[in-house]
Every structure is written in structure tokens, then in C-alpha cells.
Amino acid sequence: MKKTFKRLCAWWRRANKRAPQERKEPSMQLPLWFSNLIFWSIQVALLILAAGFLARALRIQQPRVVLASWRLLLAISLLLPFLQPWHRPQAIGTVASTTDFVGVPLPSPSSPTASHWHVPNLESIAPFLGVIVLLGIALRFAALVLGLLKLRRFRQASLPIPSSVELASVLEAMRALVAASAEFRFSSQVDSPVTFGFLAPVVLLPERFASLDPRFQSAIACHELLHVRRHDWAYHLGEEVLRALFWFHPAIAWLISRVRLAREQVVDLEVVTLTNARKPYLEALLEFTQSRATIAAIPAPPFLAERQLVERVALMLKEVRMSRTRLIASLTVIACCLALVVVLAARTFPLKAARLAVQSAPKIGIAGGVSGGISGDVKSGVSGGVAAGVERGISGDARERSLVDEPKVDISTIWTDTVKRGPMVRQVRGLGTLVPAEGSTNLAARVTLPAAMTADLKPGQPATVATQKGPLAKGHVSSISPSTSGDTRTVNVVLDGVPEGTRAGLKVDTWIDIEKLDNILYIGRPIQNGAPALPNSTASLFKIVNDGKEAVRVSVKLGRASVNTIEVLGGLEVGDKIILSDMSSADNVERVRLTDEKHLSHQ
């Protein structure tokens, strides 16, 4: 007796310790593409945020170094999925930490849990978010194509610059100085110089360009020809493609803007070096500060973007100096810090690969069986011994091999229940608020439920109302009325009596009895793809067999459902034990192996 009492006490302590976990809902199984996209986006955001902070803190301002660094960071961000190990689960993941399902038709309302039928499910929203992402990409690419067509129209509508005008000699001198060739043309459709083209680059100049000071003309022409020599339009077009693909990621957009700013700063310094005319070049920049409306929608680098003006001018006005030693040290610190960020981000937000299908095949069973059969009974005949040995070898060795290859599930991490025959009370459950009852001095629980859950509700049905502290009072349904949305119904449950001091406004948990079903098969309500199994449906469940060592997939026909239990119409018998937890991660297997890691760890 004393030994039994100690065992009961130990069981009670374990049950209380696991009680909070029993109320946890099963984790959602997000689509792999969706979770990987979110985790990759977080990894990139953390990497770019750290890089921006370090670059600002260490004051790296050399344009060429900054441009190379931002481009390298952009490449690393895009290659992150290929630079890190992907997590591939080897066994079924834990769904919930609990003991076997108790098997009582209905849990006591003294431990109410929050109703979750109205909470949005990311698993169901993910496909719509994917459609939005793809739609945004399509719209961005459509805008890019329209921009290219617009550039083509600008090119066709522009006019060549006559060689007889004075401007032609200025442009020719700049071509020789920069060692780059491009066709300059006048366009009435642009307010600022625009350079584009691969094999035959074109520079479109606004019509007022001819009236500018020759010093301004030289500086601007030098700037555009440097873009031609550096093939910057190709980089700009590639960046537009990336902006279209990752339009939903603000960190990528910010990084591309920094790349473009650094590229313009490199060109600015080269212009000042070649022309030795810092002041005229600055004045030329200011000349076009108000000329950006027309070129905003075309895929070509503008001569000046207003958001870049302050940083470009500030860099040219001050001489940036940093010793080689300090520069190398700063870049080393940045590289080490970013490597650490990548490692931490990859571990905290790992990308996941799909689970590999497990296959088993008997390869050595026949050989073992034949030898065993022949040596087992020569007197009974070689043919008989071989047949018996082959049968034993295939069944025994293949069975042992399949147990090794089957995915494992820890029995202590799943809900289980046993099929029973008996009465089951159908109930509807919802959260509500106490309000004064109409035409009575009593209080009533006003509960809002989905319309589908109220199909079988009628006035007069008994109900139980509880709070977080435990049961409050009995009551009955007084009225059912539609809400303004039409998708829900408001159910009023008048309380028969309440403890003294109970006031209106108290949040309550209400259980309404619909009917009592006698002599039926029922089980705890299984979880299918993150949600309770639907009534009047066919579910694919795992039945525990072989003395609890494994579970096999069976098809079960379900009937009427209550809050936590559901009727079994076919596929199971009294005494069958099944897994209630969400096993969607094992959709590709027909059998799983059950282990008891928790029990083994205590031995």
C-alpha cells in the first residue's frame, strides 16, 4: 500500500507539472516556402542593419571601398540560402508535451481555455500572401518594361546635336578626355541628363543644356561619359530587376539605394579629378536639383537624385582621409562582426528543407532465411526448410530493417486516446461577457459564435458558465440572434443564479449542451493540419499497435463532434489506441516508430 501511494504521488506531481503544457495549442505547420522566405528576410534584415551601423560607426567614407562593400553585401544577402546549412528534420517534431488523453467525454469547465476559432491562421493566410508577393513582382516587372519602352520613345523623339554648334566641340573634347564614346541628343521630354544603352549608349540632354555655361556643360558631359565607360546602366538595370523581385523587403531596397549613392560618389570624384573644376561641377549639380519629375519612372540613372544631393556635395567639399592601416583594421572588424551576425541569424532563424521520404527494403533477409532454414531441419526436406527459412528470413529481417528506417516519435510528446463506447454529450463552447438579462433581475452571458456552430442551438438548452477561477453558475439559452456581420450569431444564456458579488462585465467561458448521444463509439478530437478534425469527415489517423512500439496509418470515418470529442463511425474498434496530435509532418509515411525517451532518460 505504501509503495502504491508513493507511485500515485509521483504521478500527481508529474501531471501538475505538465498541466500548463497540456493547454498549449499545437504548433502551426507553415508551408516551407513561406517560413523560409520569412526567415531569409529576417536574416538579410539583420545582416544589412548590422552593416549599416558598423559602416556609420567606423566612418568608412572612401567611395570606391564603400561601393565594393555594399555590392559584396548585396551578393552575400542573395547567396545566404546557399552559404548556410539547411535544417532537415530527421524525426517527427514535438507537437505537445502531455500524457495520454484522459478519455472523458468533456473536460470540466473549471479549467477553461481560450477559444481559438476566430484567430487568423498563418497557415491559411500564407497562400494569399504568396499571391500578393507574386502579384507585386509582376507589377514591378511590368513597370520596368514600360520604363524601357518609354526610354525607347524618348530616343526616337530626340534630335541629334549638329556638329556646327559650339556645344559639339565641348562634347568632343570630353569624349577624348574620358576615352568613352556616346551619342549626345537633345530631348524635350527630359529635364535632366539621362544615359542608357549597352552597345550604342545614348545621352539625352534637356533642351536648356545648350544655354548653360560651357564649364557646366563640360562637367555634366564628363559625368555622363564616365557612366558610359563604367557600364553603369547595366548595373542600374540589374538593380531594378532585384528591386522588382524583392519589392517586399525594405532592407534590400535600402541597400540598393546605398549602392547607387556610392556609385554616384565615385563618379563625382572622378569628374573633379579629370576636370579639376570642383566648384563648376557643384554648381552644375545644383542647376538640376528641381529637375526630376520626368525621369522618375524610367530605368536609367539620373544625373542627380534629391535624396543624394546632401551626401554627394558634402563628400566633395571635404577631403576624406583614412590611413591604409586603419582602413584594413576597420574592414576586418566589419567582416568579423558580419560573419558573427550571419552565424547567429542562421542558427536563430534556420532555413528548413523538406523531409526525405523513408523507404525500406529487405536486402539480406532471403540469404539469412535460406541459411537458417536449411540448417534448421535437414531431415524434413531441403525444399521445406528453404521455404520456411525464406518466409522467416523475409518477415523477420525486413521487419527489423523497417524499424531502423521508420521515423521516430517520442510517446511522451504526443496526445493519445483510446476508443470507447458510451454516452457523449455534444456541446458548443464560446467566450462571452456577463450582461443584465432582459426582463429579469438575473445576469446573462452574451456569447458570439460563428453561424455554423449555432445551427443546432435552441432556446432552453442547458449551459454551464465558468470564469478563470472555476465554475460560476448553471443557465439556459434564452435567445439566439444574428449579428450585424451575418457570419456570427449572438447567444444569450440566462444564469439560474450567481454567487454574491458577481457583476456585469465579467468575462466568462460558456458551454452549451446540444444533445446527449447514447451508446456510440467516440474518441478525443484529433488535430488535423493545425485544427480540430471536422465532423462528418474522413480522417487519416495513426493507430498504435505492436504493444505500443509503433503506429500505423488508418482511415477513420468521423461523425458528430463536440468540443473535445468526436463520434467514430468506422475504421476503429473499442480499445483501439490512436494518436490525437497533429501528424501532418508524417504525411509521406504509413508507419512510425514510437519511443519513450523520457522514460529511458530516467533509468
**279 pLDDT higher than 50:** yes
Q: Which of 76-85, 135-144, 399-408, 417-426 has the lowest mean pLDDT?
A: 399-408
pLDDT at residue 119, rounded to an integer: 43
Task: Evaluate whether 325 touches 225 at the Cβ level (below 8 Å).
Answer: no
Pairing of strands 408-410, 591-595: parallel
- CA–CA gap between residue 280 and residue 271 (Å, rounded): 11
Return the higher-pLDDT residue of 418 and 317. Answer: 418
Region 454-469: mean pLDDT is: 88
Region 455-470: mean pLDDT is: 87
Taking alpha carbons only, the member of 49, 58, 73, 51 closest to residue 329 is: 58
Cell numbers of 153, please?
Answer: 520613345
pLDDT at residue 210, rounded to an integer: 84
561 CB-contact burial (10 Å; exposed 0-12 / middle 13-18 / buried 19+): buried
Region 195-215: mean pLDDT is: 87
Contact partners, residue 473, CB within 8 Å, separation at least 6? 465, 495, 496, 497, 498, 499
Confidence of residue 500 (pLDDT cuts 50, 70, 90): confident
Instruction: Give percent of the chain with pLDDT exceeding 70.
Output: 75
Residue ranges covered by each domain of the chain: 134-321, 365-405, 412-601
Rg (CA), the chain: 37
**520 pLDDT higher than 90:** yes
- Strand-pairing partners, residue 570, are 557
- CA–CA gap between residue 263 and residue 71 (Å, rounded): 10
pLDDT at residue 572, rounded to an integer: 93
Contact partners, residue 410, CB within 8 Å, separation at least 6? 94, 594, 595, 596, 597, 598
pLDDT at residue 450, rounded to an integer: 85
- Most confident stretch, 38-52, 265-279, 306-320: 38-52
**How far is C-alpha 81 from the chain's CA centre?**
14
Q: Which of 4-8, 140-144, 328-332, 339-343 has the lowest mean pLDDT?
A: 4-8
pLDDT at residue 97, rounded to an integer: 38
- CA–CA gap between residue 42 and residue 441 (Å, rounded): 56
Contact partners, residue 558, CB within 8 Å, separation at least 6? 533, 534, 535, 536, 537, 538, 539, 566, 567, 568, 569
Pairing of strands 183-187, 202-206: parallel
**338 pLDDT higher than 60:** yes
Q: Which of 115-129, 303-317, 542-556 has the lowest mean pLDDT?
A: 115-129
CA distances from 87 to 123, 404, 479 (A): 20, 21, 53
Q: Which of 79-88, 339-348, 376-385, 473-482 has the lowest mean pLDDT?
A: 376-385
The architecture CATH gives domain 412-601: Beta Barrel (2.40)
Region 124-143: mean pLDDT is: 90
Give the model confidence (pLDDT) of 560-598 as tens digits.
998 889 999 999 999 999 999 888 878 788 899 888 765
Using left for φ > 0, alpha for ψ between -120 and 50, and beta otherwise, residue 557 falls in: beta
Region 157-175: mean pLDDT is: 85
pLDDT at residue 95, rounded to an integer: 40
Return the higher-pLDDT residue of 498 and 84. Answer: 84
pLDDT at residue 485, rounded to an integer: 66
| Mean pLDDT rounded to a whole number for the chain | 78
Region 354-378: mean pLDDT is: 44
CA atoms within 13 A on the CB side of 275: 28
Cell numbers of 16, please?
Answer: 501538475
Confidence of residue 487 (pLDDT cuts 50, 70, 90): confident
CA distances from 146 to 141, 260, 467, 556 (A): 9, 22, 61, 56
CA distances from 494 to 9, 471, 490, 508 (A): 41, 15, 13, 13
